[in-house]
Structure 1
Amino acid sequence: MHDIKWIRDEPQGLIDALVRRGGGSDEARSAAVELVEGLKRLDEARRATLTDLEARLARRNAASKEIGQAKAKKDEATAAALMAEVAELKEKVPALEAEVKRIETELNDALAAIPNAPLPEVPQGADEHDNVEKSRFGTPRTYAFAPKQHFEVGEALGQMDFETAAKLSGARFVVNKGPLARLERALGQFFLDVHTGEHGYMEVNPPLLVRDEAMFGTAQLPKFRDDQFRVVPGTLEASLGTETVALMDSAGGKIDVTSAAGENAEIAERFRNGWWLIPTAEVPLTNLVRESILSEEELPLRLTACTPCFRAEAGAAGRDTRGMIRQHQFTKVELVSITTPEKSAEEHERMLACAESVLKKLDLAYRVVTLCTGDMGFASQKTYDIEVWLPGQGAFREISSCSVCGDFQARRMNARYRPAEGKGPRFVHTLNGSGVAVGRALVAVLETYQQENGSVTVPEALLPYMGGLKTIEKLK
């Protein structure tokens, strides 16, 4: 979230940032100017109303004292006039307080919907076609046969089952079993061991269910609500009411009960008692410092976790419908850093190197790209994507994103630190990255290490985790 003081003092800064996000078009500039002007009007209205409220409160307090003084002098006429004035002030104060709250809510909601400002060095562009390659590692392997895609390899091994998963859960799920399931587990353990043992990250086992505040803190809410899974205690009817559920069904599930008011307030409150399934461990890991003030000596905090992740993939209709590239449930090793503003750029490069290192150890070919302004995430100031080479697809595909967010998330979480020189608290800077996506790493290993006879060679770095198994062959 942006600082309204920054927007008030340097409105052109936000306009320029939004224009860059919008690819530099005239339409983006017009929209940015309109947005900033609206924010300034709300800010001015809030400040004016607050000034009026504070003046009335001050006058009420002063008049109350004057009443006592008038009564002490037996000046009943003055006392009566003052009492009438106090009564009038008391009557107007609640309305002003409500108006301040209304404007603040509108202003905060508007600020919460604005993406982070790209750093100056981020390349400007409209979409993924404008991303800039930073580096490459390895050379894609050549094969004496036509390499298959991972789902063809896994299904031929009899250890990757999408049909049964669909019976259990529907589309975009998979059942892995036997040595393939062990290989997937080995990847997660291997990534954790490298990041904790070699890179100094502290392993955390966080909750998979989080409250609204945590999702808001890392900017999954409110903008990306439709991409998440909501979990409501008990049956839907018990939590929301039979009539509401029927109404939601008839409207195609479009009713937003989270904002219900009036007669639906009780239903909405029960709904708010639910949780969100985490889309990434970034959410609980970053929120570990929410509403706290750290000492500078505690920084940087480097945290990692290997967790299931859940995404609705609301905008992915028709994309990667086969295989494990884009699923509702997947496993990922996440890296999170909490640091000072002066160290965040350096920490970003370090995090990228940590994520790259596990792919190097697996001898997987990949490239690093710097995302352009039109392709970077909502909360990011700058993002590096690592794209691994998939021989079966004949393409690079994302396996990790490493982003620096500045104080954007910290403001939403009210996460601060106290500088060593003793100045007042400052907002921390947050960073997050995949270290890396376990499911996509499994995809890359299957496609890279596949053999002509259909077997898959286990990468040397994973042998200690596979109980002596060097080759994955078809189940008998």
Structure 2
Amino acid sequence: MHDLRSIRENPEGFDAALARRGVEPMAADLLKLDEERRALTTRLQEMQSRRNEASKAIGQAMGQGDKDKAEALKAEVAEIKQAMPAIEEEERAKGEALNHALAAIPNLPADGVPLGKDESENVEVSRWTVPRTFPFSPREHADMGPALGMEFETAVKMSGARFTFLRAQMARLNRALGQFMLDHQTGENGYTECAPPLLVRDEAVFGTGQLPKFADDLFKTTDGRWLIPTAEVSLTNSVREEIIEDLTSPIRLTALTPCFRSEAGAAGKDTRGFIRQHQFDKVELVSICRPQDAHAEHEHMVESAESVLRALDLPYRKVLLCTGDMGFGARKTFDLEVWLPGQDAYREISSISWCGDFQARRMNTRYRPEDGAKKTEFVHTLNGSGLAVGRTLVAVLENYQQEDGSIAVPEVLKPYMGGLEKLVPA
């Protein structure tokens, strides 16, 4: 959500920032709605004041025996009372229209975010390690997965496309990855483990920016709740409508949860294999901090995600997203893309975003800058994957594959695998 006062003070700057995201100018329309709403508010206040004055004057007129004046004042009060509901409704409608318009506008890009229309104009920042050279032609995970317990057809029979049934050693490896990531983020990077709800109400998904614009990408239950598309929703909303008294240190939260996405906006993309699913596991990272700490916290979160890839010895690259490829609520985003030898390509495995106060305004989450200070300010929020478990499983399968079809277990995962050193095809 955007700050109306800031738009009033610098409408040209607001429109210029929107233009960097390919959005048409909106300041004039927003300010017109705001002016109309404020004029109605002023009118209502004046009517309320006049009604109170007239009501008081009725008693005075009656006390002076001036019945004609009293009756005229009574008629004026009745007329005001009759007119006010319509104006109140008009004011409410203008307010709703303004809030709806503001809620549909994406966040403004931070300085330094490259201008671009789509992912082709993202900027590579760095790479870590050189991809392994195979003495054989590496296979894609979708080709070798079924023999190892990654069953696509089994899931299709019960759930349809974009679901996968993991069995035995493959299910164990998937669980090992999630547990390792969670232990790593809590033990090495300072995040607090949480077990949040998987079902949330409208205001929660509105708070993190999925509603109203991206309702079609979510699953909704018959009682009106939403299945979380990521634990970002639950973790970030854990401070909803709060004033945080002490935020000198960032609040760092993590959770390993199932995530649910309808993938309505990804029709035809990655329909083969385990890359893009309706249900998947992910370790999410969320930080709540002061504005002055946001840059350093973004760097810490990126490093936290990178450290998992390095521990697993998976080649990856870091990419700074351009304005046309950033998510709706982000001001600045780094993607981590892991190397998949079977596809001969880097693929996204984590997206780490700084959202500024965009989500905080939607959630009404503030902090007190000084101990005991009366004035409060909006917090800044950050979120990212640390990592997507399913995509990491794919990366392990493709990077650790052997010529005989087996998969070597990465060293850091062996304690989680009950002594299993490799996955062997059935």
Same fold (TM over 0.5): yes
- The equivalences for 1:319-398 within 5 A come to 319-398=269-348
Matched, 1:432 2:383: yes
Shifted more, 145-154 versus 369-378: the winner is 145-154
Amino acid paired to 1:278: I
Deviation at residue 297 of structure 1 after TM alignment: 4.0
TM-score by length of 2: 0.98
2:397 corresponds to which residue? 446
Within the candidate set 394, 418, 423, 1:467 is matched to 418
Deviation at 1:156, TM superposition (A): 2.8
* TM-score of the aligned structures, taking structure 1 as reference length: 0.88
- Supply the distance in 2 between the matched residues of 1:206 and 1:165 (Cα, whole angstroms): 26
How much has 1:62 moved relative to structure 2?
1.1
Hey, what's the Cα distance between the residues in 1 that align with 2:374 and 2:354? Answer: 24
Amino acid at match of 1:445: V
Whichever residue aligns with residue 83 of structure 2, its letter is K
Give the count of matched residue pairs.
425
Tell me the CA shift for residue 14 of structure 1: 1.5
Task: Report what 1:154 is aligned to.
Answer: 145
Among candidates 4, 27, 30, match of residue 36 of structure 1: 27
User: Equivalent residue of 1:315, what SS?
Assistant: helix
- Summarize deviations over 1:368-398 as a string: whole Å, max 9, x none: 0000000000000000000000000000000
Q: Summarize deviations over 1:214-273 as a string: whole Å, max 9, x none.
A: 00000000000111111114xxxxxxxxxxxxxxxxxxxxxxxxxxxxxxxxxxxxxxxx
Mapping of 1:121-160 within 5 angstroms?
A: 121-157=112-148, 159-160=149-150
Aligned to 2:264: 314
**CA shift at 1:296, angstroms?**
2.6
Query: Structure 2 stretches of 5 or more lacking a match?
Result: none
Letter in 2 for 1:331: D
Distance 1:119 1:284 in 2: 25
Aligned ranges for residues 221-260 of structure 1 at < 5 Å? 221-233=211-223
The equivalent residue for 2:155 is 165
SS at match of 2:336: strand
Residue 260 (structure 1) aligns with: none
Within the alignment, does 1:458 sit opposite 2:406 as a pair? no
Q: CA RMSD in A?
A: 0.9
Which of 379, 391, 416 is the equivalent residue of 2:366? 416
**Unaligned ranges ≥5, structure 1:** 23-27, 234-273
The separation in 2 between residues aligned to 1:443 and 1:297, in whole angstroms, is 38
TM-superposed CA distance for 1:423, in Å, is 4.5
Partners of 1:143 and 1:186 in 2: CA distance = 25
Say if 1:196 and 1:203, in contact at 8 Å, map to a contact too.
yes
> C-alpha separation between the residues in 2 aligned to 1:62 and 1:139?
80
Separation (CA, whole Å) in 2 of partners of 1:169 and 1:124: 41
Question: Cα offset for 1:299?
Answer: 4.0
Amino acid of the residue matched to residue 421 of structure 2? K
1:190–1:381 Cα change, 3 Å: same
CA offset digits 1:181-214 (Å, max 9, x no partner): 1000000000000110111101000011110100
Aligned to 2:52: 61
Task: Report Cα offsets for 1:286-323 as digits up to 9, x if no partner.
Answer: 00001111113464110000000000111212111110
SS, match of residue 308 in structure 2: helix
Q: Which residue of 2 aligns with 1:104?
A: 95
4+ long deviations beyond 4 Å: none
Shifted more, 395-404 versus 67-76: the winner is 67-76
Q: Which residue of 1 aligns with 2:10?
A: 10
- Shift, 1:135, TM fit: 1.1
The DSSP-based 3-state class of the residue aligned with 2:265 is: coil
- Contact 1:63/1:86 (<8 A) preserved: yes
The whole-number CA distance in structure 2 between the counterparts of 1:409 and 1:349 is 19
Any conservation in 2 of the 1:299–1:338 contact (CA below 8 Å)? no
SS across alignment from 2:359: helix
The answer (yes or no) to whether the contact 2:247–2:367 under 8 Å persists in 1 is: no
Q: For the residues of structure 2 that align with 1:460 and 1:299, how far apart are their CA atoms?
A: 34
Residue identity matched to 1:39: L
| 2:369 alignment partner AA | P
Distance 2:419 2:392 in 1: 20
* One-letter amino acid of the counterpart of residue 63, structure 1: A
Q: Structure 1 CA distance, aligned partners of 2:166 and 2:239?
A: 36
Confirm or deny: 8 A CA contact 1:153 1:447 kept in the other structure.
Answer: no
- Range with bigger deviation, 1-10 or 428-437: 1-10
Partner of 1:190: 180
Percentage of pairs with the same residue: 62
- Return the alpha-carbon distance in structure 2 between the equivalents of residues 298 and 167 of structure 1: 52
Q: Structure 1, residues 41-88: CA drift from partner, whole Å, max 9, x if none?
A: 101100111111110001101111111111111121211111111111
Q: Is the 8 A contact 1:309 1:331 kept in 2?
A: yes
Distance 1:297 1:97 in 2: 39
Partner Cα separation in structure 2 for residue 452 and residue 128 of structure 1: 34
1:125-170 CA distance string (max 9 Å, x none):
000011001111111111000000111121132x111001000100
